Structure 1
Amino acid sequence: MAIEESLAATLPRHRAEAMIGFVADVFRHEGFADAHAKRAGELMVEADLTGADSHGIFRLPQYVRRLRAGGSNPRPAITVKRLAPAVAMVEGDNGLGHLVMSQAGETAVEIAKEAGIAWVGARRSNHAGSGAVHACLPLPAGMIGIYTVVASANHMAPWGGTDSLLGTNPLAIAIPMGDADPVVLDMATTVVSYGTVKGHALLGQPMPEGWMVDAKTGEPLTDPRRSKDGILLPIGGYKGSGLALMLGLLAGPLNRAAFGRDVVDFNADDRTVTETGHVLIALDVARFLDPKAFQAEVTRHLDDLRNSARLPGVERIRLPGEMRAARRRERVAQGVPLPAPLMAQLDRLAEECGVTKLGER
């Protein structure tokens, strides 16, 4: 969920550096090593900068609750096991998902430099925020990134069912474009992510029809405070349900990680280890053709799409990553807008941890 532009224009802005420092200070208070605290802050705030507002600093109070309850490990010994020339497994030791995926990104790039491609699984992990942030980890090395994960709660039923046995299991793909903006797709396999539902609940906003239905009646559910009574609808009907299933099997059972009934709802349970599994694939463009030639060809096709005929009432054709990149530039320059209910939560957290409030940095 990105904060609506009309609302964002009315909200106080906060510098990314201040937000990263705030997150890092909170995590240090909770026992993180300095390097881990800073890296977690960087990856969380990157979600805020790119408009994934329900997956950035918004999640900090929840992460802290799980740390304090013993649901995740503040001092993980994250290790890597090379399984084959192009395959590796990251063992997260129940650490914060951002830290596990940071290691997965480094490993994927290292392997892809050798083999041209890397498939890196991760297990014993936790919620990791925005999928696009991790799909973009191979971009600086000139590599395509592909990411998926078993979501940290089940909010979707198999097609035609009512039992919540599938997650929003997202798919994110990032294509490097040199000095130009990367092409980035980041989508849940449900109509919206559950983080978007949580964001509406925080702001007291009703949901549109078509996001969720009541699990008992099948009727539209628009009150985000009643989300526990509903199931999220998949994108594309049965196709979205099938995609969530297949992505979940790749990130879950293949990694000996949780899936289906084994998934722990980390929104409702702060104590139980989630056993979250992820996948990150890195593909070296240079193994196929000169990266500049690839970028030129992609640009040619994107221009064709962007300048193609539009339906009546359509102002412009938008392509994956355009809004993300524009929002990042605007927020780097102007700061990140944060709503008052979230700031109140962060202020309480600052008082509990004895750190400087975000608004005072």
Structure 2
Amino acid sequence: MNAAVKPDPGIAATAPAQAIEDLVADAMRVCGLPAEDAQRVGKLMAEADLTGADGHGIFRLPQYVRRLKGGAVNPTPRIEVERAAPGVALVDGDNGMGHLVMSVAADTATAIAREIGIAWVGVRRSNHAGPAALYVDMLAQRGLVGIYSVVASSNHMAPWGGTSSLLGTNPLAIAIPAGEGKPPVLLDIATTVVSYGTVKKHVLNDVPMPEGWLVSRKDGSAITDPKRSGEGLLLPIGGHKGSGLALMLGLLAGTLNAAAFGSEVIDFNADSTSETNTGHFLVALDVARFMPPAAFAAVLQRQLDELRHDAPLPGTDGVRIPGDRRAVLREARIRDGVPIPPPLRRQLDELATTLGIEPLAARQS
């Protein structure tokens, strides 16, 4: 079959966020997580789907289960926090689910920032924790600026000019609170042109990829066939600048925390038995240390309105502030449900049968 003509993956039926949360929580409990921890993971994974991070929500459940069942992840971690300095803390995740480890990191960052105005929290011995946006959003909802990065849980990019997969998609997320009841200004970007989770969605649905995402490590030619994705390297945003940004974020999230970086990174897509020692960092900044939060929100709103009302450049949809699409998607998916493509639904049904829990469809009545 021609690579440009692929089977239609079918219409994605929707599922309520609560059904997704409960399916994940039940799967986590079967894998040994305590009930409260299992529900917490379910809630955060459902939130990823609600806000459009489809490659980091329930899509990841089969992979998480494989790693828990394979002994790669500790279902009952003893997460420890060390206050290393007034504004610095280190979190040791004891190889627990990343969502749980980063929830502790966010709570720690919040407490320190409210105490002294700013916090830097480093994390080691964690795991994949879903989209970066989750954790800066937590801080923004508490009136704090949040900045986050992580060493991605697999390497799919070469250092600029190289051919070896030594860098990950190492994301950068920043959230700025916009006032009571308003979604934050929130930027969440991979340092590659596209996240590898998006590539995996194309593989699952057998849909061609655009040129400019992946190139062959052998000759640099474009790869668009999802079946050949394993042969390629993801390209960085902005050429050498994106590669440099991924490197620097990786050193701060990995090396500085005695966590994995470079060739030390375990590919959690292919390995279901090894600890990844994933490193993250989270920075929190208290807006109230600069001006009253309500005054800041008013100034911010005026400036955002000015940006939004700029005359659209011909051929574009006009100005979109970081976080706008996320907020619109969340509202729509709370109302209409989360799209679940047929290939993913089949995977989830098979997983539910294997684990002896109710499938997604049975949770939607």
TM-score, structure 2 as length reference: 0.95
Q: Which has the larger displacement, 60-69 or 139-148?
A: 139-148
Secondary structure, aligned partner of 2:147: strand
Determine if the alignment matches structure 1 residue 274 to structure 2 residue 276: yes
Q: Is the 8 A contact 2:48 2:131 kept in 1?
A: yes
Determine if the alignment matches structure 1 residue 243 to structure 2 residue 250: no
Match of 2:4 in 1: none
Deviation at 1:61, TM superposition (A): 0.2
Q: Is the 8 A contact 2:146 2:283 kept in 1?
A: yes
Determine if the alignment matches structure 1 residue 343 to structure 2 residue 345: yes
One-letter code of the match for 1:356? E
What CA distance in whole angstroms lies between the structure 2 residues aligned with 1:27 and 1:20? 11
Match of 1:45 in 2: 46
Q: Is the 8 A contact 1:8 1:337 kept in 2?
A: no
Secondary structure, aligned partner of 2:55: helix
Deviation at 1:282, TM superposition (A): 0.9
Deviation at 1:10, TM superposition (A): 4.1
Match of 2:306 in 1: 304
Question: Structure 1 residues 9 and 176, CA, compared in 2 at 3 Å: closer, same or farther?
Answer: farther
One-letter code of the match for 1:117? I
Q: Which has the larger displacement, 12-21 or 210-219?
A: 12-21
One-letter code of the match for 1:294? F
Alpha-carbon RMSD across the aligned residues, in angstroms, is 1.3
Deviation at 1:352, TM superposition (A): 1.1
One-letter code of the match for 2:357? V
What CA distance in whole angstroms lies between the structure 2 residues aligned with 1:350 and 1:34? 18
Q: Which has the larger displacement, 301-310 or 38-47?
A: 301-310
Secondary structure, aligned partner of 2:123: strand
Determine if the alignment matches structure 1 residue 354 to structure 2 residue 349: no
Secondary structure, aligned partner of 2:248: helix
One-letter code of the match for 2:62? P
Over the matched positions of the two proteins, sequence identity in percent amounts to: 61
What CA distance in whole angstroms lies between the structure 1 residues aligned with 2:237 and 2:283? 23
* Residues 110-125 of structure 1 aligned to structure 2 (within 5 Å): 110-125=111-126
Q: Is the 8 A contact 1:20 1:38 kept in 2?
A: yes
What CA distance in whole angstroms lies between the structure 2 residues aligned with 1:32 and 1:315? 45
Deviation at 1:294, TM superposition (A): 1.0
Secondary structure, aligned partner of 2:138: coil
Deviation at 1:316, TM superposition (A): 2.0
Match of 2:29 in 1: 28
Unaligned residue ranges in structure 2 (runs of 5+): 1-7
Match of 1:183 in 2: 185
Question: Structure 1 residues 9 and 230, CA, compared in 2 at 3 Å: closer, same or farther?
Answer: closer
Secondary structure, aligned partner of 2:345: helix
Structure 1 residue runs of 4 or more that deviate by more than 3 Å after TM superposition: 7-10
One-letter code of the match for 2:234? L
Deviation at 1:8, TM superposition (A): 11
Q: Is the 8 A contact 1:120 1:280 kept in 2?
A: yes
Secondary structure, aligned partner of 2:260: coil
Q: Is the 8 A contact 2:9 2:205 kept in 1?
A: no
Q: Is the 8 A contact 1:150 1:276 kept in 2?
A: yes
One-letter code of the match for 1:214? S
Q: Is the 8 A contact 1:92 1:123 kept in 2?
A: yes
Matched residues, number: 355
What CA distance in whole angstroms lies between the structure 1 residues aligned with 2:216 and 2:197? 18
Match of 1:158 in 2: 159
1:207-265 per-position Cα deviation (integer Å, ceiling 9, x unaligned): 00000100001000111221221100000000000000000000001000000010011
One-letter code of the match for 1:208? P
Deviation at 1:199, TM superposition (A): 0.5
Determine if the alignment matches structure 1 residue 106 to structure 2 residue 133: no
